[in-house]
Amino acid sequence: MAKRVVLITGGGIGIGRATALAFADQACHVVVTDVLEAEGNAVVDEIRGKGGSADFRFLDVTSTEQANAVVAETEQRLGAVDVVIANAGIAHRVPFGAMTDEKWDHTFDVDLKGILRIVRPAVPGMIKRGSGAVVALSSIMGVAYGWDEHVHYSSAKAGVVGLVRGLAVELARSGVRVNGVAPGYIRTAQLLSQEHSLGPEGAEAAPAFIPMGRLGEPQDIADVIVFLASPAARYITGQVIAVDGGLLVGRY
């Protein structure tokens, strides 16, 4: 992989952090963005400590102005944004009976519209150069499963699939590829949250019904993201790949 500029949202922890480190290992310059400043800067320090190239920019993906500014500043400073990894997301447990417009809209604002906000300003430069790659994070809860008390999350992540497909077709002749990844149960802070997800006990029990017999690790997702953004995936666009240890095909 030639040295490229990779911009990652939600790059401070979990899958985003693992993805930033994986791209840095491929000699890319990584722009780590997040609302978690300490965590994002720690990732940059880790990359630089290994001899890699990275910097941190604060970005709340619910802000169009911030997203536009981060992309514009990166292009001015580094010459291009070659790859966008739209990873930032939230998943809050809300029973449907307690669902308000505000709670619904906030999840869509981060998990779906947040992708629009960071991809939209990056696409013109990609089209101008005739190359580029976008990878957006969906979920198995958006491509195959429903998730009780997370209807807003499942709906937003299903929307990511439509975004990937539609944008991939629109940009295909411009040399820009758009793909997605749908993680299964991955060992992250989100998954281990008792309030919003499986919690520690649920995480411990999950391998019993995952065909590969273990939870996924952030690196398992990061490696697929790096592949989809690489020349090795040059004829792949509009796809959302489930990375779930066989969960979707193994539940019957």
Q: Identify the residue whose tokens are 């790659």.
A: 133
- Helix residue ranges, H only, the chain: 14-25, 37-49, 64-78, 101-111, 113-129, 140-143, 151-171, 199-205, 218-228, 247-250
To the query of whether residue 153 is one of the catalytic residues in this protein, the response is yes
If we measure between CA atoms, which residue out of 151, 205, 153 comes closest to residue 183? 153
- Phi, psi for 4 (deg, rounded to 5): -130, 165
- Which contacts (CB < 8 Å, 24+ apart) does range 158-162 have? 159/108, 159/111, 159/112, 160/111, 160/112, 160/115, 160/136, 160/240, 161/240
Retrieve residue 120's tokens: 């939209």
Residue 101: CB atoms within 10 A of its CB come to 7
**Active-site residue among 153, 185, 235, 252?**
153
Known catalytic residues are: 153
